[in-house]
Amino acid sequence: MKRFLPFLIIVAVLAVALFAAWIFLRSSQQAGDSRNTATPTGSEPAGAQPPHVRGNPSAPVTLEEFGDFQCPTCGVYYGELKTIEGEFGERLRVIFREYPLVPTHQHGLEAAQVAEAAGLQGRFWEMHDKLYENQKAWSDVKDVMPMFIDYAKQIGIETDRFGRDLSGEAVAARIFQDGKRAHALGVNATPTFFVNGKELKADSFSPDGLRDLIRKALSGAAGQ
Amino acid sequence: MSVNIPAAETPRKIVWSYLLAALLSLIGLADAIYLTVEHLTGATLRCTIISGCSEVLSSPYARVGSVPLAAIGAAAYFVVFSLAILAAFGYQLARPLLAIVVSLMFLTTLWLLYLQAFVIHHFCQYCLLSAAVTTALMTILLLSGLRKQNV
């Protein structure tokens, strides 16, 4: 019996480990489901108007992103989204909504204000791209505003007005309106994606999962 | 060729050191399973208000191809557990294999610590726990090896 004891222990630990992993996986998925966001019904707040839209305005598929410029995963998906937008071309339009995670990200709110202030001069997407492309450079800087003003200059923004808009009501109202929509939809993480109103769930959260959701939306739109 | 030696012929302290290594590897196994499940469910991939972000676990270094690094870690800890149990029960062949596996894990740990400190610029607490377990395993094996030489 003693000869087989170590093997029995090993098999028993393997069985317990696999069982524990399975239980934990199930409970994590159930917790994820219970955290799921609501499906937009049209009755929730519309968010800031007009929204920031990139791509064909009359595309059959709309991808709505709730993002934070200091969120590293949003930074990764910034590049992925550019590729995906290229793949789907005129069939896809992208809406960006502000969801700065305060206090998780020390500069998240400032970055959202900078992007919205740039938007008031018609340069939202230029600043959006600038912030994500340089995310690592500014994320850990203590006083980030000089860098943001430098980005504004680089994309041709009139900086005096930009400085006033940063603390103005229009910028604050846009972030607040996007936040109200996020809250109504139960958004609690960034990035969160909705494709024609359907959320990209945690268990399929990947660039390919996003592509699948877009393809399903496209086939659904074609079937209507 | 017989490779097993009765436990009674093995110095008692060395047997206990392998049992300790087996117990430690269970901590590493639990840690790695937790991280693997978190990775598979996408829980570690996004930022939230409550738990912040996992810069380490959402980085490209957290995967080898499409396989989560944590899953490879879980497999490694299970191998360490198995070899440590066999070594504790007197299977001589398990001992050099255990030393090789733990050494490889320790080198990987050093590489991952370097990545966290100098490339990602963030530390993951579960990865640090795993690093502590691997370092402890390495220390136990080194000490037991030294004692064996002195016997």
- Residue A199 confidence (pLDDT) above 50: yes
CB contact (8 A) between residue B86 and residue A76: no
Q: Which of B41, B58, B81 is the best mutation test for A, with the most CBs of A within 10 A?
A: B41
The ipTM assigned to this model is 0.77
The tens digit of pLDDT for each residue in B98-113 reads: 999 999 999 999 999 9
CB contact (8 A) between residue B47 and residue A71: yes
The tens digit of pLDDT for each residue in A30-41 reads: 665 555 556 666
**Nearest chain B CA: its distance from A13 CA (Å):** 9
Measured in Å, how far apart are chain A's first and last C-alpha atoms? 68
The answer to the question of residue A71 being in a domain is yes
Residue B53 identity (one-letter amino acid) = C
Of chain B residues 83-142, which have a CB less than 8 A from chain A?
85-86, 88-89, 91, 121
Residue A129 identity (one-letter amino acid) = D
The answer to the question of residue B4 being in a domain is no
- Residue B56 confidence (pLDDT) above 50: yes
List the single range of A131-135, A180-184, B40-44 with lowest mean pLDDT.
B40-44
Cβ–Cβ contact A14 with B under 8 A:
yes
Do A32 and A202 form a contact (C-beta atoms < 8 A)?
Answer: yes
Task: Please state the φ and ψ torsions of residue B104, each to the nearest 5 degrees.
Answer: -65, -40
| All residues at 6 or more sequence positions from A28 whose CB lies less than 8 Å from its CB, including other chains | B37, B38, B41, B43
The answer to the question of residue A115 being in a domain is yes
Contacts of A13 in chain B (CB under 8 A): 26, 29, 78, 81
The answer to the question of residue A207 being in a domain is yes
pLDDT of residue B7: 47
The domain spanning residue A128 has which CATH number? 3.40.30.10
Q: Smallest Cβ distance to B37: which of A25, A105, A189?
A: A25
| Number of domains chain B is built from | 1
Q: Smallest Cβ distance to A202: which of B41, B74, B86?
A: B41
Per-residue pLDDT, averaged over B40-56, amounts to 71
- Kindly indicate the confidence band of residue B2, based on its pLDDT and cuts at 50, 70 and 90: very low
Highest mean pLDDT among A187-201, B5-19, B68-82: B68-82
Residue A136 identity (one-letter amino acid) = K
The answer to the question of residue A24 being in a domain is no
Do A97 and A64 form a contact (C-beta atoms < 8 A)?
Answer: yes
The answer to the question of residue A28 being in a domain is no
| Number of domains chain A is built from | 1
A19 vs B29: CA distance, rounded Å: 13
A194 DSSP β-pair partners: A64, A199
Do A47 and A86 form a contact (C-beta atoms < 8 A)?
Answer: no
- Closest Cα to residue B74, out of A24, A119, A52, A58? A24
B81 vs B73: CA distance, rounded Å: 12
The domain spanning residue B14 has which CATH number? 1.20.1440.130
The answer to the question of residue B54 being in a domain is yes
A195 DSSP β-pair partners: A63, A198
Range of B82's domain? Answer: 10-150
A170 vs A172: CA distance, rounded Å: 6
Task: Please state the φ and ψ torsions of residue B63, each to the nearest 5 degrees.
Answer: -135, 150
The answer to the question of residue A17 being in a domain is no
Range of A64's domain? Answer: 52-223
pLDDT of residue A38: 61
**Nearest chain A CA: its distance from B113 CA (Å):** 19
For residue A107, with 0-12 CB atoms within 10 Å meaning exposed, 13-18 middle and 19 or more buried, which class applies? Answer: buried
pLDDT of residue A36: 54
If one compares B151 and A14, the residue with the highest pLDDT of the two is: A14
The answer to the question of residue A31 being in a domain is no
| All residues at 6 or more sequence positions from B91 whose CB lies less than 8 Å from its CB, including other chains | A6, B3, B4, B5
The answer to the question of residue A34 being in a domain is no
A150 vs A112: CA distance, rounded Å: 16
- Closest Cα to residue B28, out of B79, B62, B68, B65? B79
| All residues at 6 or more sequence positions from B3 whose CB lies less than 8 Å from its CB, including other chains | B91, B92, B93
The tens digit of pLDDT for each residue in A48-104 reads: 999 999 999 999 999 999 999 999 889 889 999 999 999 999 999 999 999 998 888
- Kindly indicate the confidence band of residue A129, based on its pLDDT and cuts at 50, 70 and 90: very high
